[in-house]
Chains A and B, each alone.
Chain A
Amino acid sequence: MQLTVWTYEGPPHVGAMRVATGMEGLHYVLHAPQGDTYADLLFTMIERRNQRPPVTYTTFAARDLGKDTAELFKTAARGAYERFKPQAMIVGASCTGTLIQDDPGGLAKALALPVPVVTVDLPAYQRKENWGAAETFYQLVRALAGPKAPPPGSQRPARPAGQRPTCNLLGPTALGFRHRDDVREITSLLNQLGIDVSVTAPMGATPADLARLGDADFNVVMYPEIASQAASWLQRMFHQPFTKVVPIGVSATREFIKEVAALAGVDPEPVLKNSSSRLTWYSHSVDSTYLTNKRVFIFGDATHVVAAARIASQEIGFKVVGLGTYSREFGREIREAAKLYDVEPLITDDYLEVEAKVAELHPELVLGTQMERHIAKRLGVPCAVISAPVHVQDFPARYAPQMGFEGANVIFDTWVHPLMMGLEEHLLQMFRDDFEFKDGAAPSHLGHAPVAEVAAPAMAADVAIAEVTTTTVTTETTTTTVVWAADAEKELRKIPFFVRGKARRNTERYASEIGVATITVETLYDAKAHFSR
């Protein structure tokens, strides 16, 4: 058992729902109790979909358990086919449905429905949402495109001369973070290169579209979490190569252009020469100097975290002080990225652990999911959202991709917006005692909401960074209790609140290292000199 407060990912059948809901002409029959129908609201409320997800739940109850839940499943599946007339169906069970062992696949087969029925067996007690989405997509692709696979050993026929190269876009689903806009951005980028998109899947694809996936020259894996497995299978069966670069950020987008151009056999130079992102110029403009080495902590799904770290470090000039992911399946990618920035990777789906880490690192900006938004809000740290899971406000009405050059523009704006502007920050620092520059003044463009003084997370007392006067500092060798002299405490208050916690910790660490029991103003500035970068 694992004690969980908030979860980053839902159960695997929610991943299957994200695939089914993204597609058209597909229906999902799910053996599940009534409460599991909550999942509909993820799509209708958070993503504001104007249709119910194409899911029929059997909603078996206690009284059915003694009787015939299998019959209930068959009735539901038959009824769903009659009512919705889908091109294909998927069948499966939720966590409780799995336990009653009714074999939805076998039952559906017995119904001999006149459309393909694909069974998705998802291990509900081991796996989670993204895995469920990947597995469902893979099973669908196998079942629907499989019959068209060329015999083993055969070669891919060459593209007829004069025909534009084609590719599929793989990975976007319902409820994905900016998937809708990323698809538009990448489709238009590919068009500029002279490459046509044959099928985008799962989002917007019908079962018939999946059946013709093999026609394209190559695949673009937009979201490896969801599309890797299907893309590898397509490569094996149809000899379709797939892309490895995820085009989030200016450099990654440029690499992506070169990668797809090579796969398609077209010249990338005209597009590379003509395209630019404002991110690059905005970062170079002197106004952005104040962004230099701002400390950022990054958490989310692996793809977005790896991309965000690269942008943060190389394209905006922040300093990555920590990064991590909730998806253990992609731990390797995160560990590799962590090496680049010389930080410890945090691979956990425990929200409290992430909160403790943010409190400990005391970053100046958090880039994360909606969970980190809550963490950052509580700790009084600015935050921008870069990855699922996200909430209703992260499905903006406007066009706001993450991928491509426009995505880079969006990212620059989104990440810089929560920060205090450069000159404002200087003025605050110079005139601490101005009565209007109260502690915790919010950036002037963000209204008057005072930012809460950094408080220790409720349950992570071991990383307390609250304003305490006596602190026990544990170093590798000794444990000393250091005390702040009144004037030092007063001086500390002149340091902007968003770096004060760090200054306090550093000073205490320094004091205990050099064996000083009472921190004076001198100790404070000695420590500042000691740690200055």
Chain B
Amino acid sequence: MTVQLQGCAAPAAQDGAAPVVRHERGQHEVFCGLTGIVWLHRKIQDAFFLVVGSRTCAHLIQSAAGVMIFAEPRFGTAIMEEKDLAGLTDANDELDRIVAQLIARRPDIKLLFLVGSCPSEVIKLDLSRAALRLSKRFMPQVRVLSYTGSGLETTFTQGEDACLASLVPELPASTSTETSLLVVGSLADVVEDQFIRIFDALGIKSVQFLPPRNSTSLPSVGPNTKFLLAQPFLADTARELENRGATRLAAPFPLGVEGTTAWLRAAADAFGVDAALFDKVTQPARSRAERALENFRQDLAGRRIFFFPDSQLEIPLARFLSRELSMQLVEVGTPYLHREHLAEELKLLPAGVAITEGQDVDLQLDRCRAARPDLAVCGLGLANPLEAEGMTTKWAIELVFTPIQGYDQASDLAELFARPLVRRAKLVA
């Protein structure tokens, strides 16, 4: 299948015939927003993430990270103890003591996030006030911000949304009259660099990224800022940016050739880039990526895939797999569906696709077992049990920890889905 942008032949939901979304409430089997720290602390190189929570919170991050980082990480947990629950004054004093201790030990830290958790929320420990207080004390050496990663408020990738949203009010006001582009959402450095080269070739010179690699190079924002979401889970961040006067460019997400092209085109159109130039710049990368995808079409075409809700990347991924690799979508679960941000994606999904928002894991497992998909995309808690039942799985978390956006990662993304199938076919014993 050749990917075409305009007038694509694949059947798509017609305007007005929005896909049916089923809502489900029951046991969720997903991480909370604290998990975002695992990649955010690598992305922003001078930031430290201090979770104010319980031993469970510390254990969650450690287990999600797989204790894979040998060096001392730039995150930690202030574990609350019995006496912290007794009185909020004491809890605040304790927090101040821990922050002072931390800053003394880590003079390299320029930005400290106090990250709220379920316990800190339930006892109503006000971390935004604590952040103000501590900022006053430690500025200019360290800026202190707060956000919540609690499982009561945030699911998995929503932790990144909360983190970035807390950064937006700190961004300097843009003074330039020139329109600038802001790319929002964590991307691997290598992907950022690729996009910078493409935007540069398109003549879009003023491109900034949120989050920045360093807290001292915060992007500026203002009414002349147009922003592109690189990730589908940034509801609050987008709202905060709009409050600062910035305008969101509606686009699908840069997954696969088609998604990347449409995403770049949204910027190109907004910046008045000539269509011929756009094609000239993107065509070589598009062709190369399409050739690379060819290798995986045989493994994936016609295969039936089932998504358990995890990162909110499910809908863009389903769109990529169905349109560029001809996979069949059995069910697409997502923890949360932001209709506005995903509008461009939903238009591209095949008609009648079954989307589930929220989760009742037992019922969903029943449906998955009944459907016997060729591939189930699920969390770490479900993967081995499903494999043991004879199903082939792909761990969803790898999709968040791997560079998958942009042209040159399109085939890597396809490979992530092909590998479990290839592997199962190889193993005879």
Known: A36-B56, A52-B385, A125-B85. A96 touches B70 (CB 8 A): no
Verify if A65 is at the interface (C-beta below 8 Å from B).
Answer: yes
Verify if A56 is at the interface (C-beta below 8 Å from B).
Answer: yes
Known: A3-B101, A41-B381. A36 touches B60 (CB 8 A): yes
| A96 B118 Cβ-Cβ under 8 A | yes
| B67 A6 Cβ-Cβ under 8 A | yes
Verify if A512 is at the interface (C-beta below 8 Å from B).
Answer: no
Among A7, A40, A59, chain B packs the most CB atoms within 10 A around the CB of A59
Please, how many angstroms separate the alpha-carbon atoms of A265 and B384 in the complex? 46
Q: How large is the interface on A (under 10, 10 to 19, 20 to 34, 35 or more residues)?
A: 35 or more
Q: Which one of B52, B56, B81, B150 contacts A10 once the chains associate, using CB atoms below 8 Å?
A: B56
Please, how many angstroms separate the alpha-carbon atoms of A83 and B365 in the complex? 12
Known: A37-B28, A38-B60, A128-B55. A95 touches B72 (CB 8 A): no
Q: Which residues of A contact B59 (CB under 8 A)?
A: 7, 10-11, 14, 38-39
8 Å CB contacts to B: which residues of A1-33? 1-7, 9-11, 13-14, 33
By the criterion of a CB under 8 Å from any partner CB, how many residues of chain B are at the interface? 66
| B95 A1 Cβ-Cβ under 8 A | yes
Q: Which residues of A contact B91 (CB under 8 A)?
A: 1
Which of A43-51, A160-168, A318-326, A404-412 is found at the contact surface with chain B? A43-51
Q: Please give the distance in Å from B105's CB to the nearest CB on chain A.
A: 5
Q: Please give the distance in Å from A369's CB to the nearest CB on chain B.
A: 10
Verify if A473 is at the interface (C-beta below 8 Å from B).
Answer: no
Q: Which one of A11, A59, A100 contacts B55 once the chains associate, using CB atoms below 8 Å?
A: A11
Q: Which one of B34, B67, B385 contacts A50 once the chains associate, using CB atoms below 8 Å?
A: B385
Please, how many angstroms separate the alpha-carbon atoms of A5 and B70 in the complex? 12
Q: Please give the distance in Å from A32's CB to the nearest CB on chain B.
A: 8
Verify if B79 is at the interface (C-beta below 8 Å from A).
Answer: yes
Q: Which one of A3, A65, A391 contacts B102 once the chains associate, using CB atoms below 8 Å?
A: A3
| A95 B153 Cβ-Cβ under 8 A | no
| B64 A38 Cβ-Cβ under 8 A | yes
Q: Which one of B30, B60, B70 contacts A377 once the chains associate, using CB atoms below 8 Å?
A: B70
Q: Which residues of A contact B406 (CB under 8 A)?
A: none
| A1 B78 Cβ-Cβ under 8 A | yes
Mostly helix, strand, loop or mixed at chain B's interface? helix
| A94 B56 Cβ-Cβ under 8 A | yes
Please, how many angstroms separate the alpha-carbon atoms of A60 and B32 in the complex? 12
Q: Which residues of A contact B384 (CB under 8 A)?
A: 44-45, 48-50
Q: Contact flags (1/0) for B379-391 with A, using CB distance below 8 Å?
A: 1111111011000
| B31 A38 Cβ-Cβ under 8 A | yes
Residue of B nearest to A96 (CB): B118
| A62 B153 Cβ-Cβ under 8 A | yes
Known: A37-B30, A459-B106. A95 touches B119 (CB 8 A): yes
Residue of A nearest to B34 (CB): A35
| B54 A95 Cβ-Cβ under 8 A | yes
Q: Please give the distance in Å from B341's CB to the nearest CB on chain A.
A: 21
Verify if B155 is at the interface (C-beta below 8 Å from A).
Answer: yes
Q: Contact flags (1/0) for A114-147 with B, using CB distance below 8 Å?
A: 0000000001111010000000000000000000
Q: Please give the distance in Å from A132's CB to the nearest CB on chain B.
A: 10
Q: Which one of A45, A60, A96, A378 contacts B54 once the chains associate, using CB atoms below 8 Å?
A: A96
Verify if A61 is at the interface (C-beta below 8 Å from B).
Answer: yes
Q: Which residues of A contact B78 (CB under 8 A)?
A: 1-4
Verify if A42 is at the interface (C-beta below 8 Å from B).
Answer: yes
Q: Which 4 A-B pairs have the closest CB atoms?
A: A35-B32, A40-B381, A35-B151, A50-B388
Show the binding face of A for B, using Cβ within 8 Å. 1-7, 9-11, 13-14, 33-42, 44-45, 48-52, 56-62, 65, 76, 79, 83, 94-96, 99-100, 123-126, 128, 352, 370-371, 374, 377-378, 391, 457-459
